[in-house]
A and B are shown apart, each in its own frame.
Chain A
Amino acid sequence: MSNASVNECGYRAFSLGAYKFVRDEYFAHITWPGGSHTISVDRFLRALMRDVAWNFFYGTVNFDEVFGTTNHYGTVDVFAGLYNAGFRERNKQFVEALNGDHVRSTFLEMLEDWTNEGFDPFAAPEETGTPFGPKRGSNLSAVRRNRVVAKRMVGLKGDTPLRSDADGNPVNRQFTDVDQSEPEVHAEPGFEGEVHAFNFFAYLSRSDVTWNPSITSAVKDSLLCPTTEEYMLPIIHGNDRVEWFVQLSDEIHWDVQDRESGAPRARVVMKAGDVTAMPADIRHQGYSPKRSMLLVWENADPALPDLYAKKRLRPNPVDF
């Protein structure tokens, strides 16, 4: 539910369960029974964009050290302080389980109202305008983008399309040196739909969003979800299963923390060709000094969160 009236900065206020959300020129203010929290609106909108576009993704989307969502694939926990050791120690956390569709539609409404003209929460900071100031138009085409979800492989007939200049996907300014030549595909008559290949790196070089893993190929529940990264992951992602990263180009640095408490566990520096697992019991945030290509690899088996939560699966992927 949103209030029809707007505040002195021109923004609408929103309610979600017991939470209330208000923005002013610089901040998003969140209140709940017994507590409140303030986040820079820059950070808040970038996190909100991912939460909406990813449909809450796998596991937990921490907007920061206090506020976030945990996906239960139907319902969503909207929490404050749940994964913060200080809040938990004093039993100050607040959690509300809400219908996922309702949370997403409310968040999308908020995103649409609070995102000003010229600001794209999916873009790298150098590529977009400012989120700050009083209400100034909107950017609906930017905030209504969804993540690409290929059923089998990008570019196959009937599946998600390739990207080109003609369809409004130019090569990104940081990837102008990426080879754009397509593979040679020689299909015999009758097999045009099955003999398929495409320039995967060129496809990624034309992505206009950052930190947005999108499905490019699927082998049953094994999903290749590449993404282009620049600046920093605007959320801290808490895993509900093991995920893997393959650094396709350039370099990303990851801070890895305990999923529950946020206590530091490791830093992972990834260079082109490096492969690393992110265990099921961690949260992580990445930093990409230059726009880079990252392959996120997920196992989408819906049984996994429960198996990990009940410790029927170990949080590390392999023993050696």
Chain B
Amino acid sequence: MLRKTTFGSLEHYEKGGVQIINDDARNYAFSNIFEVASKSEPYEKIAVGKNLKYVLEAIRAEGISPWYAASHDEAAIVMDGEVEIRLVKLEEQIVSEEHEGTTVLEGAPKGKKMGYIVARRGHMALLPKGAAYQFHAATPGVILLQTIGGDLTAERWKDICQK
């Protein structure tokens, strides 16, 4: 028997939760990506997962983002909506190897256009090391970003997690 596959979205999501028997709900840092993105400003990078220096960020994609770069690969999963990702090969190294996490660039990057990706729900895109990238979403969407905690990562656990 085929049962419908259920995905979440900004428009419609249901949230589960932690039922405590002998513990503290805060140990589970339980949140929902769509709920977080529904309350965020466009392109705020809200940590919804943190494993020491590594993070998963929930990002509300809406309009045109600044240009970003990192000294390492990042991976973006579009969880809702349609997002165009524009990529430029940086002429020179803007972010030092030691600096981890996403860095925002001032203005447009200098370098050759690498191309662009149009990604919709369920698509994963590589944001390669050495490239600058920019998001564009005509309507609100949600990105889950695999990266390293950096200057732009916002930690609001008290606001987003079950207590």
Given the contacts A248-B7, A279-B28, A299-B51, A197 and B121 also touching, CB distance less than 8 Å: no
| B contacts with A, residue count (CB < 8 A) | 70
Task: Please determine whether A263 and B22 come into contact, CB atoms closer than 8 angstroms.
Answer: yes
Within 8 A of B (CB), among A165-181: 173-179, 181
Task: Please determine whether B16 and A220 come into contact, CB atoms closer than 8 angstroms.
Answer: no
Task: Please determine whether A318 and B6 come into contact, CB atoms closer than 8 angstroms.
Answer: no
What residues of chain A lie closer than 8 Å to B113, measured between beta carbons? 188
A213-232 CB mask vs B (1 if < 8 Å, else 0) is 00011111110100000000
Task: Please determine whether B3 and A174 come into contact, CB atoms closer than 8 angstroms.
Answer: yes
Within 8 A of B (CB), among A146-201: 152-154, 156, 173-179, 181-188, 191, 194-201
Task: Please determine whether B49 and A266 come into contact, CB atoms closer than 8 angstroms.
Answer: no
For residue A309, give the distance in angstroms from its CB to the closest CB of chain B. 16
**What is the CA–CA distance of A317 and B16 in the complex, to the nearest angstrom?**
20
**What is the CA–CA distance of A154 and B115 in the complex, to the nearest angstrom?**
19
B120-163 CB mask vs A (1 if < 8 Å, else 0) is 11111110100100000000000010111000000101100100
Task: Please determine whether A277 and B119 come into contact, CB atoms closer than 8 angstroms.
Answer: no
Task: Please determine whether B49 and A297 come into contact, CB atoms closer than 8 angstroms.
Answer: yes
What residues of chain A lie closer than 8 Å to B79, measured between beta carbons? 273
Given the contacts A177-B4, A219-B148, A201 and B121 also touching, CB distance less than 8 Å: yes
A276-320 CB mask vs B (1 if < 8 Å, else 0) is 111100000000001000000111010010000000010111111
**What is the CA–CA distance of A206 and B154 in the complex, to the nearest angstrom?**
35
A191 touches which one: B3, B4, B114 (CB < 8 A)?
B114
For residue A245, give the distance in angstroms from its CB to the closest CB of chain B. 9
Given the contacts A153-B75, A200-B124, A299-B54, A276 and B26 also touching, CB distance less than 8 Å: no
B146 touches which one: A222, A271, A273, A319 (CB < 8 A)?
A222
What residues of chain A lie closer than 8 Å to B131, measured between beta carbons? 194
For residue B102, give the distance in angstroms from its CB to the closest CB of chain A. 11
Given the contacts A194-B126, A201-B121, A272-B14, A250 and B6 also touching, CB distance less than 8 Å: yes
B79-100 CB mask vs A (1 if < 8 Å, else 0) is 1000001010100000000000
What residues of chain A lie closer than 8 Å to B112, measured between beta carbons? 188, 191
B52-96 CB mask vs A (1 if < 8 Å, else 0) is 101010000000000000001111010100000101010000000
Q: Is A133 an interface residue (CB 8 A)?
A: no
Range of interface residues on chain A? 35 or more
Task: Please determine whether A320 and B158 come into contact, CB atoms closer than 8 angstroms.
Answer: yes
Write the chain B residue with the least CB distance to A242. Answer: B51
Q: Is B40 an interface residue (CB 8 A)?
A: no
What residues of chain B lie closer than 8 Å to A264, measured between beta carbons? 21-22
For residue B94, give the distance in angstroms from its CB to the closest CB of chain A. 17
What residues of chain B lie closer than 8 Å to A194, measured between beta carbons? 87, 89, 114, 126, 128, 131
Task: Please determine whether B7 and A195 come into contact, CB atoms closer than 8 angstroms.
Answer: no
For residue B127, give the distance in angstroms from its CB to the closest CB of chain A. 10
Write the chain B residue with the least CB distance to A188. Answer: B115
**What is the CA–CA distance of A76 and B84 in the complex, to the nearest angstrom?**
47
What residues of chain A lie closer than 8 Å to B146, measured between beta carbons? 217, 219, 222, 224, 297
Extra 6 A-B pairs, beta carbons < 8 Å, given A184-B118, A197-B126, A267-B21: A174-B5, A186-B116, A272-B6, A273-B13, A276-B18, A320-B157
Q: Return the 5 tightest CB-CB contacts between A and B, nearest first.
A: A201-B122, A273-B8, A269-B16, A320-B157, A197-B125
